[in-house]
Amino acid sequence: GGIITQTPKFLIGQEGQKLTLKCQQNFNHDTMYWYRQDSGKGLRLIYYSITENDLQKGDLSEGYDASREKKSSFSLTVTSAQKNEMAVFLCASSIRLGPYAEQFFGPGTRLTVL
């Protein structure tokens, strides 16, 4: 078994601020993902990474940067937080990239922008 840890659990930022979310996994999985979850909009893929130092844009990548410097970690940066923004960011990993590879999810980081 393994676990995905996301830090921080709660993140409060100011409009225009650059904010970084971190994700660690000890599954030794190759592929990692960042999703954004908004109330009423389901989950949308922001970035994913097939392996260390690889980055692939998802449907919602505008306004975000990502970094995968180690196999076990995947960071997401909100480049300029939007006023009144509220969302949950979920990190996930899978053993490899592929449609049938189960994705394991972390508990999420809840973002509030004042």
Q: Which residues in this chain contact other proteins in the complex, by CB under 8 A?
A: 4, 33, 40-45, 48, 58-59, 90, 92, 97-100, 102-108
- Closest to other proteins by CB, 2 vs 16, is 2
CA distance 77 to 39: 21
d(CA 101, CA 103): 6
Q: Smallest distance, Å, CB 34 to other proteins?
A: 11
In angstroms, the CA 89 to CA 110 distance is 6
Cβ distance to other proteins smaller for residue 19 or 23 = 23
Distance CA 103, CA 15 (A): 32
Task: Quote the least distance from Cβ 56 to other proteins, whole Å.
Answer: 8
